[in-house]
Amino acid sequence: MPRLNHRRLLVIAAVLLITGVIYAAVWTAPTVLRNKCVGCGDCSKVCPTGAITIIREKAVIDAETCIKCDLCVRTCTYNAIQGKARKF
Ligand code: SF4
Ligand code: SF4
């Protein structure tokens, strides 16, 4: 197994950073369908980055914090969150 020296770690970090930047540039955060949301909070409990807040009984997604994993989409039993979409 190859040793992980500093140069390899730097290359891996750079690749991860570039991949993240490209991913963020291509995908939008999911959208909450306010007419379907009942404010149960299930989506905010599973969100790994804490990007979802319940405000006046509706889920609100902070696009800056969201990493577009779509876990909230799969969790919402009311189908109140539309998954990420490509920006172009
Ligand atoms: S899980 Fe669905 S219904 Fe519940 S707060 Fe989130 S978006 Fe609204
Ligand atoms: S897509 Fe992932 S990170 Fe973004 S709001 Fe949903 S659960 Fe949170």
Q: Which helix (H) or strand (E) holds 60?
A: strand 58-61
Half-sphere exposure of 71 (CA within 13 A, CB side): 14
- Residue 75 structure tokens: 């969790």
2 Cα: distance to centroid of ligand 2 (angstroms): 35
Q: What is the DSSP letter of 29?
A: P
Split into its structural domains, the chain has a count of 1
88 part of a folded domain:
no
Q: Does the C-beta of 59 come closer than 6 Å to ligand 2?
A: no
Per-residue pLDDT, averaged over 54-83, amounts to 96
Q: What is the pLDDT of residue 2?
A: 63
CATH number for the domain that contains residue 71: 3.30.70.20
Residue 1 lies in a domain: no
Q: Provide the whole-model pTM.
A: 0.83
Q: Which pLDDT tens digit goes with each residue over 6-40?
A: 999 999 999 999 998 888 888 999 999 999 999 99
Task: Give me the domain span that covers residue 77.
Answer: 6-82
**How much is the pLDDT for 48?**
97
Q: How far does the centroid of ligand 1 lie from the alpha carbon of residue 15, in Å?
A: 34
